[in-house]
Amino acid sequence: MMPTRQLRQLASRLAGQPQACHTACAVAPILSIWVLGDGKPGHENQALGLAEALGRLRPCAMERVSLAGKRGLVRRVRAALRATVDLPKPDLLIAAGHATHPSLLWLARKHRVPAIVLMRPSLPLSWFDLCIAPAHDFGLATAPANVLTTSGALNRVRPPASAARRGGLLLVGGPSATHAWDADALLDRLARICGEASSGPWLLTDSRRTPPGFLARVRQRLPAVAVFPHAETPPDWLPARLAEAADVWATEDSVSMVYEALSSGARVGLLPLPRCKPNSRVLRGLEHLVAKGWLTPFQNWSPAHGLTAPPQPLQEATRCAERVLTKFFAAGGEALAKCRVQRGDRG
């Protein structure tokens, strides 16, 4: 995604050139997107994943508005207003995380543009123009008309341009609301995979929930595995490794990493951990993917057959971006105009 000024200059030049091929095809105006973030990487990756997907479909200029470290509704709204006072007027607002919701709604009302919230909000859904959230957030209930459900959370991972992939990647989480921890059993499973699977070499990384000392045990028992602590890797390290790996194993508590791996197009296996809530919505979502052939549980894996290849890369960010453009910016901007009228813009 190019900076705002360069994009506007490019669009201006293109608009002034004769159309040699398809005279009915006009240069799409640049879409100005503001992305509100609360400083939490998991939330911001979802919002950026959607914004970047929009940028791959049409010219976009993205501005990031950080509310990290701001406490209290009033302070956050004031911070958002100060941070955006000199920005070009937006066409679309995107936010993820409860701390961003009041500012998202305030800015949407001020600028009379659509507000998209990622993940199910605590505020009424009807207050937002569109909510994009994992299907498991709604359980068996029918989602409202302004909700677009997805398979897992959106992310920034894309399948590689080249089909050549090699090696394996091990993604380790830790205790969570849905899972306990069993380091001995997990080490045994990792040892079997690294010793018997045809993929290799193997890389391993952990998460902020991984108990202290586990990586040291991995290094001691599996010296051939290259260990990369998450705290020592840059933000783009994991997406780059996912694009290279042929096989990815993730502990089943690490739902976001599972969906990132599926988005990369790699073959993905699930490493079990003790379940505290076996009937949780998150686990039901994973079991649905297993039944559809997207994931291979460790208990179903054998070195002879390897991991099952997914039907296709899971590109939910692209699918949602297409729906956003159709909903708000298709048919000459009629949907966007309707949204502005509903917000009170009668000019």
Digits of tens for pLDDT over the chain (347 positions)? 545 555 444 344 434 433 333 333 355 689 999 999 998 888 999 999 999 999 999 999 999 999 988 888 999 999 999 999 999 999 999 999 999 999 999 999 999 999 999 999 999 999 999 999 988 777 656 788 899 999 888 999 988 877 788 899 999 999 999 999 999 999 999 999 999 887 779 999 999 999 999 999 999 999 999 999 999 999 889 999 999 999 999 999 998 899 999 999 999 999 999 999 888 888 888 998 999 999 999 999 999 889 999 998 899 999 999 999 999 998 644 445 455 445 554 33
Pairwise CA distance, residues 84 & 87, whole Å = 5
Report the chain's terminal Cα–Cα distance, integer Å.
Answer: 32
- Decide if 4-156+317-342 and 168-300 have a common fold: yes
Fold of 168-300: Rossmann fold (3.40.50)
How many helices (H) and strands (E) are present in the chain, helices listed first?
11, 12
Looking at the whole model, is its pTM more than 0.75? yes
- Bridge partners of 297, per DSSP, are 270
Name the helix (H) or strand (E) containing 134: strand 130-134
d(C-alpha 323, C-alpha 130), whole Å:
10
Query: Domain segments of the chain: what residues?
Result: 4-156+317-342, 168-300
Which fold would CATH assign to domain 4-156+317-342? Rossmann fold (3.40.50)
Place of tokens 């000024």: 5
